[in-house]
Structure 1
Amino acid sequence: MAASPSTARAINDRLALRLLQDEGPLTAAQLKTRTGLSRPTVADLVERLRGSGLVHVVGESGADRRGPNAKLYGIVADRAHLAALDVRTRSVSVTVTDLVGTPLAEAAAPVGDADGTGTAVERAVTLLERTAKRAGVARLHTVAVGAPGLIDPATGELRDSTGLPAWHRRLIGVLQERLPARVLVENETNLAALAELREGAAGDRDDFVLLWLGQGVGAAVVLGGRLRRGASGGAGEIGFLPVPGTSGLPSATGCDGGFHELACVAAVDALAAAHGLAPATALTSGHGPFLDALAHRLAIGAAAVVSVLDPGCVVLAGETGHQGGQELAARVEAVLTSLSPLRTEVRATTLGDAAVLRGALLRARDAAQDELFP
């Protein structure tokens, strides 16, 4: 059944807005080429979007061209302002942007349980408020927070899980109370995967698994270009995966004995020390025996994921994935090839420490545009 005229207009408008978001300012002729719509249809949608205050003329495509066809149209960036937070165990990083994602102000500060729950929460909220003020933003439209822990797929809330700092759970509620903005929360590993999918190492992949290798260990699963969270939001809790070479088995209340015991930062540091290396420089030292031993550990966990999901690509992220780079990724791929018949490429993160914050910004931008765009 054919779409009604109003539905067709809404679809065309959204398509044009997405192109302007992803590619920047475009002329009417460029919109016509990219959308496949007729010239009159493009002219109509441009006027509609200008009339709604979503699009405006930002310049011309070239000094030697004049007239309506040379006008460059772009999204009205100050229609809404966004914020993204990367909440770690001992710190918070913040960025405030306009609607198209242009950074206006950034900040970071140490925050931890040693401050006490109330003080830690206040420090984090104040950091966001001051950063917004420095950016000249009086009101935020959407705030997205990346944090460790499970997100309830039914409520979108951070679940009360073992090991999660108390101030993390309290922070979300206080942000919702203090800010006249929509506040979203997402698992940090999932946000890193979103960023790598849209802008990083997995940009050419519809299927991949991101292994987060940091203070904690986790995974994000992307299949068919979509993030898969699982029935309880726990898809990718690979730290609890039973693997050989650990002290025992994990439990429902702790991942000691699971893959976490082999791959977390503390385990990597201990492995480096056993090879006579300083933890701070071990991953970049080029020390073959250490990197081979670490690659073998990481490949064990990767092989389990690959055998079930067959994603074709694994991205190593988090502190270890970032510092180990492509050299570590190549060694993990070599070991994985010997463990699994399923061909799998292993890549290093290209976004590094910025992946979570960038993913949170993309999440905020998508949510804001879904509300503002027709």
Structure 2
Amino acid sequence: MDETRGPAPARTASAAVRTAPRTASPSTARAINDRLALQLLQSEGPLTAGELKARTGLSRPTVADLVERLRTAGLITVVGESGARRRGPNARLYGIVAGRAHLAAVDLRTHGATLAVADLLGRVLAEATVPVGPDAEPGRAAANGVATLEKLLGEAGAGRPHVVAVGAPGLVDPATGRFGGTEWVPAWHDALVTAFGDRPAAPVLLENEVNLAAVAEQRDGAACDRDTFVLLWLGHGTGAAVVLDGRLRRGASGGTGEIGFLPVPGTGTLPTAAGCDGGFHSLAGSAAVCRLAAEHGVEAGPGEGRPGPGGTDATGAPAAEALVRAAVRAGESGAAFLDALAARVAIGAAAVCAVLDPGCVVLGGETGRAGGDALAGRVAGHLARMSPLRTEVRAGTVGGRAVLRGAVLAAMDAAQDDLFGPAA
């Protein structure tokens, strides 16, 4: 299931430029100024000492001191010069040493895992997907995953990763950072996360996949101008990620956004603690979308899978995605299906908005991505008729790699906090 969240610290770096408070001790002031300079170098790229002075408001001697400290620590280096006509110390461009640490990111799905190795600036250096069969023995699947990570590290010219960030379906206990209900996820997921933690080394950050997709949308996608929004995940299952004032909200048990369990009209039953059948999942999950498409005579295009058990095609990919794409391509003949689907999605969105009033809902997941602006616009229309709260509905733009990208960003933030010191 795709609808749960967990505790990995996927933080959004502040863009504000702040200098050290007047009451700070000299060592605290130095740490704050160093982190400020590193944040600027990460967000803007290489800068000269003069540009750092202008952007931070610090004095020239203070900037000179921090540049020397950061160079001695191996965190920044000279990467070039500014302008062909300028020469000398004042023209030197300083940049973060991207190879100072390497990161690992993992996107766990029901039928496999995608792994990536990135540098300290979040640039992916190597990537691979490991298929896992439905009857795979957990220990063997975990061993294959670890072996793949080792191979990728070698391709990237890296040693051990500084941190491993894993995005997965399933409830994650915020007190332990581990799966809180393994009956909801394949057994090999827990085995692989455990195997990563048993390697010599790197800490493992386990986060719900929907939360990581929200991090990616906020940093690189549809919500980059929002510090408060909800990502509504429409895939094999349904879920939501809640970002308020720039921070992911996970709840007391890690279950913020468990919208699949939301009781809704039109399902004929109620969800239970053991399963979300009868909840919003039964209206907007992949299997429900496939049934709705059949009612409206929508069929997938040539070469696209037909739905099987659980709303997947023969390859395990969500068939709902292909059906929604077909409806969007069909134009007017697919409009009735898209309208009916939007009405269902709006029920979940209206419930979230009534409680949180986020002002913006981003549609993510395979189905949300396939519907694009055509589905988002229809959901917005239904939502406007159901709720007095002004809410913009946007289609997610990061795409099918949102979870992996969010895992890279979470790992990058954790590594930078460790190496640079916590952000101010």
TM-score range, shorter chain: over 0.9
Q: Any residues of structure 2 matched to 1:167-182 within 5 Å, and which?
A: 167-182=188-203
| Structure 2 residue aligned with 1:300 | 347
Q: Aligned with 1:343: secondary structure? A: coil
Q: Which of 324, 332, 337 matches 1:282?
A: 324
Q: Deviations over 1:264-284 (max 9, x none)?
A: 111112211221112424333
| Structure 1 residue aligned with 2:222 | 201
- Give the partner amino acid of 2:170: G
- Give the partner amino acid of 2:193: I
Q: Deviations over 1:116-167 (max 9, x none)?
A: 2222222222222222222222221111000001221122222224321111
On the 8 A contact 1:111/1:123 being kept in 2, the answer is: no
Q: Which of 53, 58, 61 matches 1:37?
A: 58
Q: Deviations over 1:79-112 (max 9, x none)?
A: 1111100001112111111111122111112114
On the 8 A contact 2:290/2:323 being kept in 1, the answer is: no
Q: Which of 144, 148, 162 matches 1:141?
A: 162
Q: Aligned with 2:257: secondary structure? A: coil
- Give the partner amino acid of 1:9: R
Q: Any residues of structure 2 matched to 1:32-181 within 5 Å, and which?
A: 32-181=53-202
On the 8 A contact 2:232/2:239 being kept in 1, the answer is: yes
> How many residues matched?
374
| Structure 1 residue aligned with 2:397 | 350
Tell me, in whole angstroms, the C-alpha distance in 2 between the residues paired with 1:39 and 1:62.
20
Residue range with higher mean Cα deviation, 279-288 or 102-111: 279-288
CA RMSD of aligned residues (A): 1.3
Unmatched segments (≥5 aa) in structure 2:
1-21, 301-321
With CA pairs under 8 Å and 6+ residues apart, which has the higher RCO, 1 or 2? 2
Unmatched segments (≥5 aa) in structure 1:
none
On the 8 A contact 1:95/1:105 being kept in 2, the answer is: yes
| TM-superposed deviation, 1:33 | 2.0
On the 8 A contact 1:111/1:124 being kept in 2, the answer is: no
Q: Which of 380, 386, 405 matches 1:339?
A: 386
Kindly, what percent of the aligned residue pairs are identical? 66
- Give the partner amino acid of 2:418: E
TM-score (norm 1): 0.97
Tell me, in whole angstroms, the C-alpha distance in 1 between the residues paired with 2:232 and 2:287.
16
Q: Deviations over 1:9-31 (max 9, x none)?
A: 10000011111112211111221
Tell me, in whole angstroms, the C-alpha distance in 2 between the residues paired with 1:129 and 1:246.
47
- Give the partner amino acid of 1:148: P
On the 8 A contact 1:142/1:368 being kept in 2, the answer is: yes
| TM-superposed deviation, 1:62 | 1.6
- Give the partner amino acid of 2:124: P
On the 8 A contact 1:162/1:254 being kept in 2, the answer is: no
| Structure 2 residue aligned with 1:9 | 30
Q: Which of 191, 212, 218 matches 2:212?
A: 191
| TM-superposed deviation, 1:113 | 3.3
Q: Deviations over 1:167-203 (max 9, x none)?
A: 1111111111124212111000011111111111111
TM-score (norm 2): 0.86
Q: Deviations over 1:191-230 (max 9, x none)?
A: 1111111111111111100011111111000001100001
Q: Aligned with 1:115: secondary structure? A: coil
